[in-house]
Amino acid sequence: MALVFAAEGLEGGEKLLLLAYTNYTDPHGYCWPSERRLADDCGTSVSTVARQKRNLKAKGLLKSVRRINPKTGEPISNLSRVNLPLLASMRRPARPYDDNLLQQISFDEDPSEHTDSGPDLLKCHSDGYPLSDRQVPPSKMTGTPCQSDSQSLTDPPREPVEIRKDGRSPSTSGSRRERSSGSAASGKTKPPSLTREQRRQVDVLFQALPKELADLVPANPPVNLKTAALEALAAGRPEERTVQQLVEFRMLPKWNKHYASQDAAGPIRKPVGVLLALLERDAECGDARCDERTNVDTGQSCISCGERAVDKRAERVQEAAPEPTAIPRPKQSAKPVMVPAQPAGGPGGEWAPPNDEYRAIRAMTAGRRRHR
């Protein structure tokens, strides 16, 4: 970072981005911060970081290589390297500055002016601390493997770690199951930090909550609660809600319906869980502007929810109606066929053969008896 301060030929934005890069570099200039992290560190937008990054590449001060996660195939932050030798060669020449005279801020009767030691102050604003008698802790620019936000110029002292014979260090806390299911074993990464605009939106929502809901918000809201608040606001989507619409048409109706009467029995044990349930949208119909059966734009009852309720009532009435039973029809009995008697004989009493009519009627009755 001292090389960046002393370099000349850089614009303010370029020098600011280089300062952010050198905050994570190792002694060889390697680092891998994402553009979102650099934008938050510099207080600028991602597009500004990308533009200044192109300028630094054009001047030969920065190189980057794209990286891909071998497990998922998704792109991750680029591996970058700052050209430290070139940056050191851009050191501006020494100039006299009128800011190193301690006598200008001395008093008329100052006993320290007559002593040889003088006050415990730096003698000048030069880059090197050896000009002062004070002992300054050594500064290191080594970055951590995870590019932590808590990176400082001085590495904290480390406690000695006992090494086993097999080369492994003993665990200090947690069981074997916890270690195997931890974030390192499962491949989970730290969730991306919220931007300045997102944090502002969450703060505005929490400040607009009524007292009964504001009392549920913890002093340091967790990340999942902030993410749920941003998801409920749905900025830039058809389900987008203003803070007033979200509180008036979703959170308060749910609170009055499910939690307000129960709150009198005692304090809520899991306030964050209650807030997450209040922020979640119950999509009862396909209308994106509907919350708890109310149109958030007009404040009137949702038409789609009304039609859906009518259809449900019709379905329930139809299901409750008894099914019509079939009326049995009486069986049609066969009409008896009158079979004429066999003629006993002729005119003189002798036997006479059957005629054709008799044969047809006998054949018909015989067939009916077989089918019965």
Question: What DSSP line would sit under 93-123, residue for residue?
Answer: PP---TT--GGGG--SS-GGGGSSS--SS-S
pLDDT digits (tens, 9 = 90+) for 159-210: 554 544 444 445 554 444 444 444 444 455 666 788 989 999 999 999 999 9
For the cut 70, the answer to whether the pLDDT of residue 114 exceeds it is no
For the cut 90, the answer to whether the pLDDT of residue 107 exceeds it is no
Give the type of residue at 343.
P
pLDDT digits (tens, 9 = 90+) for 308-349: 888 888 888 888 877 766 666 666 655 555 555 555 555 555
Confidence band, pLDDT 50/70/90 cuts, at residue 75: confident
Q: What is the average pLDDT value for the chain, to the nearest integer? A: 74
To the question of domain 2-89 being in CATH 1.10.10.10, the answer is: yes
For the cut 60, the answer to whether the pLDDT of residue 149 exceeds it is no
Confidence band, pLDDT 50/70/90 cuts, at residue 370: low
Buried (b) or exposed (e) across 6-30, using 16+ Cβ within 10 A?
A: ebeebeebbbbbbebbbbbbeeebe
For the cut 50, the answer to whether the pLDDT of residue 136 exceeds it is no
Of 150, 230, 225, 223, nearest to 193 (Cα)?
223
* CATH 1.10.10.10 intervals, the chain: 2-89
Residue 232 burial by Cβ neighbours in a 10 Å radius (0-12, 13-18, 19+): buried
For the cut 50, the answer to whether the pLDDT of residue 137 exceeds it is no
Backbone dihedral region of 136: left (phi > 0), alpha (psi from -120 to 50 degrees) or beta? Answer: beta
CA distances from 32 to 79, 155, 189 (A): 5, 19, 15
Of 312, 36, 347, nearest to 192 (Cα)?
36
pLDDT digits (tens, 9 = 90+) for 250-305: 999 988 888 877 545 567 888 899 999 999 988 777 788 898 888 888 888 888 88
Per the confidence metrics, is the pTM higher than 0.85?
Answer: no
3-state helix, strand, coil in the chain (%, to 5): 40, 5, 50
Of 207, 183, 205, 203, nearest to 195 (Cα)?
203
Q: Which of 3-7, 198-202, 349-353 bottoms out in mean pLDDT, i.e. has the lowest?
A: 349-353
pLDDT digits (tens, 9 = 90+) for 17-51: 999 999 999 988 899 999 999 999 999 999 999 99
DSSP per residue over 308-348, as a string?
HHHHHHHHHHHHHSPPPPPPPPPPPPPPPP-PPPPP---TT
Span 126-144, average pLDDT: 45
Is the model more confident about 73 or about 180? 73
pLDDT score at 309: 82
For the cut 60, the answer to whether the pLDDT of residue 134 exceeds it is no
pLDDT score at 231: 92
Q: What angle do CA 86, 123, 112 make, to 5 degrees?
A: 175
Strand ranges, E, within the chain: 30-31, 62-68, 75-82, 290-291, 294-295
